[in-house]
Amino acid sequence: MTTDNATVATSDKPRASRTSLRAYVMIGVLGLIWLYFHWATGYVFLTPRNLSNLMTQMTVTGIIAVGMLMVIVSGNIDLSVGSVLGFAGGIAAFGMASMGFGLATAIIAAISVAVAVSVFQGALTAYLNIPAFIVTLGGLLAWRGAVKWLLAGNTVPVSDETFKYIGQGNLPAWIGWAIAASAVIFVIIGAVRKTRSVKEYGLGEANYAGALLRSIIPVAAILAFIGVMNAWQGVPFPVLLLLAAALLGAFLTNSTVFGRYLYAIGGNADAARLSGINNKRNIVKVYALLGALTGVASLIFTARVGSAAPDAGVLKELDAIAACVIGGASLMGGRGTIFGACLGALIMASLDNGMSLLNVRDFMQDIIKGSILVAAVGLDMAGRRET
């Protein structure tokens, strides 16, 4: 038993170190992108105002990427989330404008529709064995048609100011600092508990001083983030929703049986099934979760632009998939992290924001982002061949 445990631990260490190394590399790349754009834009990019705009811009892609990451980890894909986002946002806007929906009803309707669509598509994939690529490619077209039918090809404005707050609002500074204090306490408690578990399981002595030292970087990052956001109108409310979605996704993938099942299914579906995992039920569950997050993203998107339009959410599915892949997820399944997906979304948003500030032509922006995506996958594949 000891030999087996040692073997597993030894095999897990290189994998964990590769994941950590990739995260550090991606953070370094993000830093270089930010420094370049700050210099190229005449020192505008890293101002509190632009960073607040940048964080708000990434929320829709980031929230969808959290759900998409879990779907990709399970060995599936969803190409329809952009159309579902437009349809769910259209439901909310049309309901308030023409059917007398209140705020709560509009929110529930949008999220419920997105969940129902995703569960339907997940069931087709899981129980009828139709490839997810085909099911969701059909969904991309079908639900885009549904948006056009619902809105009759018109843009439907949103007049409810409370609804608009979902995509445009900012939190008071004191709430931002209260969130920061809570997050700092959470980080420190987590570090202490992790160190205590090392001693409890007989893996070594508890080094509380080292744990606190390792907490300095995340604590400093939290305080710096809140400080910068408060320097310009406070933490954007959509960013708070993104942080909540990311924490939920991280908890599910790292600390629940459901999350472990997703990695097992994506790694080897047959082996997972033979070990007693209900693959079909878990695939439907992960699609339902993606639907819920897409519904939340649709509310942010609709509230931010102040209207629902037939072309809302076009290509958002590709932005979310690109964020996951750039963040280290494998399209074959079984590999990827929520942190990596959010980092990938931030990199994509940084490129969009920086190139827009530099007035780069639209076609050139697409070429650059596409090239970066291919390069990220190519480097990842090269690294895996070497190991």
- Domain-by-domain residue ranges, the chain? 2-163+241-386, 170-235
387 confidence band (pLDDT: 50, 70, 90): low
Is the pLDDT at 9 greater than 50? The verdict is no
Burial 266-278 (b: 16+ CB within 10 A, else e): bbebeebeeeebe
10 neighbors 3 (Cβ within 8 angstroms): no
Helix (H) or strand (E) holding 11: helix 2-40
Instruction: Specify which residues 308 forms β-bridges with.
Output: 156
201 confidence band (pLDDT: 50, 70, 90): low
Helices (H) and strands (E) in the chain, counts: 16, 2
Q: Which of 180-194, 200-214, 231-245, 261-275 has the lowest mean pLDDT?
A: 200-214
Spatial separation of the C-alpha atoms in residues 37 and 33, rounded to whole Å: 6
75 confidence band (pLDDT: 50, 70, 90): very high
Q: Count CB neighbours of 315 within 10 A.
A: 11
Range 91-106 average pLDDT: 93
72 confidence band (pLDDT: 50, 70, 90): very high
Is the pLDDT at 78 greater than 60? The verdict is yes
- Per-residue model confidence (pLDDT) at position 34: 95
Helix (H) or strand (E) holding 308: strand 307-308
Instruction: Specify which residues 156 forms β-bridges with.
Output: 308
- Per-residue model confidence (pLDDT) at position 200: 66
Is the pLDDT at 214 greater than 90? The verdict is no
- Per-residue model confidence (pLDDT) at position 10: 41
Which class for 155: exposed (0-12), middle (13-18), buried (19 or more C-beta within 10 A)? Answer: middle
DSSP 153-189: T--EE---HHHHHHHH-B--HHHHHHHHHHHHHHHHH
- Coil/strand/helix, residue 352: helix
Distances (CA, A) of 88 to 75, 117, 124: 25, 10, 20
- Per-residue model confidence (pLDDT) at position 2: 41
25 neighbors 376 (Cβ within 8 angstroms): no
Which class for 325: exposed (0-12), middle (13-18), buried (19 or more C-beta within 10 A)? Answer: buried
Tell me: the pLDDT tens digits for 334-365?
Answer: 889 999 999 999 999 999 999 999 999 888 88
Range 241-264 average pLDDT: 94
The answer to whether domain 2-163+241-386 has CATH 2.30.29 is: no
Range 357-378 average pLDDT: 84
Which class for 20: exposed (0-12), middle (13-18), buried (19 or more C-beta within 10 A)? Answer: exposed
Tokens of residue 165, six digits: 């707050």
Tell me: the pLDDT tens digits for 327-339?
Answer: 888 888 888 999 9
Range 278-288 average pLDDT: 96
- Per-residue model confidence (pLDDT) at position 11: 41
pTM given for the model: 0.91
